[in-house]
Amino acid sequence: HVQLVESGGDSVQAGGSLRLTCEVPGYTLSGYCVGWFRQAPGKEREGVAAIFTGGGMINYGAAVKGRFTVSQENDGHTIPLQMDSLLPQDTGMYYCAAARISGCGSLDPADYYDWGQGTQVTVS
């Protein structure tokens, strides 16, 4: 199991940008599926993006495709989520999660077993 720490959440106006980061302190992520998820009050947790840290696979939820970009930094333990053209409906608590699973790219929260505490994004 790995510990994940999210940061970068803030309050922004619609049309703005934010960069969230998911860090795994002291551990090099290799061969993991890492997902970004969000949850608004009263709604189910929704998959935003997923990336395979071994390279070659990235998947996005339909609501964010073309606006959000997930990547992996060369340090081996940071997974940023660049969010552009933000909309009020992007508001929510954003979480990153990790798992070693086959068929990496899942946006189903049930497929992930290590989770961070979340970082709040508010778009008005």
pLDDT tens per residue, range 20-47: 999 998 888 888 999 999 999 999 999 9
State mean pLDDT over 93-116. Answer: 92
Q: Enumerate the β-bridge partners of residue 27.
A: none
pLDDT at 67 over 90: yes
Q: How much is the pLDDT for 28?
A: 87
Q: How much is the pLDDT for 91?
A: 98
d(CA 31, CA 35) in angstroms, rounded, equals 13
State mean pLDDT over 55-77. Answer: 93
| Inter-residue contact 119 to 11 (CB < 8 Å) | no
| Inter-residue contact 5 to 65 (CB < 8 Å) | no
